[in-house]
A and B are shown apart, each in its own frame.
Chain A
Amino acid sequence: MTTEDRRDRSISTLPDGLWTQPTPSVPVDLGDDPVRRQVVPAAMRYNYSPGLASTRFLRGLAEKRFLGERCPETGEVYIPPRGVSPVSGLPTTEQVEVGPKATITSFCVVHIGFGVNAPPTPFVSALFLPDGAAVSLYGTMGEVPHDEVRIGMRVEPVWVDDDQLTESMENIRYWRPIDEPDVPAEQLKGHM
């Protein structure tokens, strides 16, 4: 097998040489004109229902509000809510507005961006713990050099223009730092 054959195909944007296939351990005889590929177009449409709790959350996003839901047993507020507390297994019925200010609980400096919506590299993806919530939301950072981002940093969401608001996480363009002291890592325990 030539190097060309072993190179990863278009599914990967990683540099050449990564994820190559090993040489087969047994001889493979596919003849002079082997069938190497069968193209089978496949598409299935789903009318996906977000459910009651996610609907409440998405409606809130359209108003630039984060609506979490409280576990009736532990009192923790989960976001985005799915209708059931993952700790107690009980329905969450009380809506609690959290954020929009938040704290970074972890981050990653991305040098090779995947996907069509990735910002120019390098950029920072991060987990943002909205004030009052028990769990973090995923998003990207803006308006700050990537080497200044840190755990405990205080941030706020930057929303799309009001006439662009929909029931979508894409309402948040990115998050940016705010002028507040960092939250000590000690206080983020259990939420990272």
Chain B
Amino acid sequence: MRDVAIVSVAQSHHRRSAEELNEVEMIQPVIRAALDGVGASISDIDFTCSGSSDYLAGQAFSFVMTLDAVGAWPPIVESHVEMDGAWALYEAWLKIQTGAADTAFVYSYSKASPGDLPRVMSRMLDPYYAGPLWPDSVAYAGLQARAMLDAGVTTERQMAEVAHRNRESARTNPNAQVVGSPSVDELLAAPMLSDPLRVHDCPPISDGGVAVVLAAGDRAREWAERPAWIRGIDHRIDGHQIGARDLTTAPSVALAAQRAGVDGAFDVAEVHAPFSHQEQLVLDGLGVGNGVEVNPSGGALAANPMMAAGLIRLGEVATRIMDGSAGRGVAHATSGHLLQQNLVCVLEGGD
């Protein structure tokens, strides 16, 4: 295995609607900031990979247009995933492992604001049985929350505590969209949205993006004083048909964590749990216990740009390693409905 590190991270200030900007105008400053972070231009990058979704943009081949912000001329070696950017990072990491690249640039973004997000999300479902019923993504998450409550995996109070803690943590995150929270008792007094979910249990709808520079070995040491080395990375997928899953567990989180070498000894964990009840499932799957700081950024409950919120988790851990505030951390990203696909990455400082 080659030693590969995250050496630069930039993200947007996430907000409900970047209404005045098109996607390339929104992501350009983020792309530039990540490259400027290591004093690199695109000609120093061997491989570029992005993550985005045409369904969110409402436009075919939308990612080709945002490539303008990379400055892809003369032509560059480039790829794209219709997934969260964490999977774009995985592809870039693999590319470096093959020896075909020493450096990589990864970015992902979305504007969820032009469409009706819960309806757009239903297009991830199978087109024959669930898709034609247009179930919205919040109601879908409610099915999982209900199953977890019934199984005693969580309580409504624990869910409110997760929402409260994340949004209070977001006070120190300049990029967060939802900052601060009423007390847990006040949250529990609020009306239901999709019973058993209240508004505070749901992520905000966000426009935003993130960009990351990867480099191998000496190039990483040259570009960063404290590179955030990727010590393990793996992703696993549970079944697509939610009726065939036990929604009160997340087996693919546990398997990915095991394969990525997660051992519980972390200073910080950033987990991608868009709905409050999901954080416990992810932490259980990761085997992260007390003593680990969870989601100091506020997580996806504080800002949830689709296609980017997972890569942002990797970026948040890497940033803390690069600035010396953490020595070792674990980041988790999810994709699909109800924690169906999961990626786990162990990041570490040192040589």
Residues of A within 8 A of B (CB): 38, 40, 44-54, 82-91
Contact = CB atoms under 8 A, between A and B. Distances in A.
B25 interface: yes
A40 B25 contact: no
B116 interface: yes
Contacts of A83: 21-22, 24-25, 28
B39 interface: no
A71 to B, nearest CB: 10
Contact of B115 (A44, A51, A54): A44
A46 B55 CA distance: 10
A49 B19 contact: yes
Contacts of A54: 22
Residue of B28, B31, B68, B114 contacting most chain A CB atoms (<10 Å): B68
10 contacts: A45-B116, A46-B114, A46-B115, A47-B114, A48-B114, A51-B23, A52-B25, A84-B24, A84-B69, A88-B71
B183 to A, nearest CB: 36
B35 to A, nearest CB: 8
Interface stretch (B126-134, B258-266, B302-310, B340-348): B126-134
A183 B197 CA distance: 67
Interface of B: 19-25, 28, 31-32, 42, 55, 58-59, 65, 67-73, 111, 113-116, 119-120, 123, 127-128, 131-132
B73 A51 contact: no
Mostly, the A contact residues are: loop
Contacts of B132: 38, 40
The 3 nearest A-B residue pairs measured at CB: A51-B22, A89-B71, A46-B58
B134 to A, nearest CB: 8
A13 to B, nearest CB: 21
Residue of A84, A87, A91 contacting most chain B CB atoms (<10 Å): A84
Contacts of B113: 47
Contact of B68 (A48, A49, A86): A86
Contacts of A45: 115-116
Given A86-B67, A89-B31, 5 more contacts: A52-B21, A54-B22, A83-B24, A83-B25, A89-B32
Nearest to A53: B25
B58 A44 contact: yes
Given A40-B131, A51-B20, A86 B72 contact: yes
A90 B71 contact: yes
Contacts of B55: 44
A189 B115 CA distance: 41
A82 B64 CA distance: 12
A87 B114 contact: no
Contacts of A85: 68, 71
Contacts of B119: 44
A49 B22 contact: yes
B113 to A, nearest CB: 8
Contacts of B25: 51-53, 82-84, 91
A49 B21 contact: yes
Nearest to A41: B132
Contacts of B127: 40
B121 to A, nearest CB: 11
Contacts of B28: 83-84, 89, 91
Contacts of A50: 22
A12 to B, nearest CB: 19
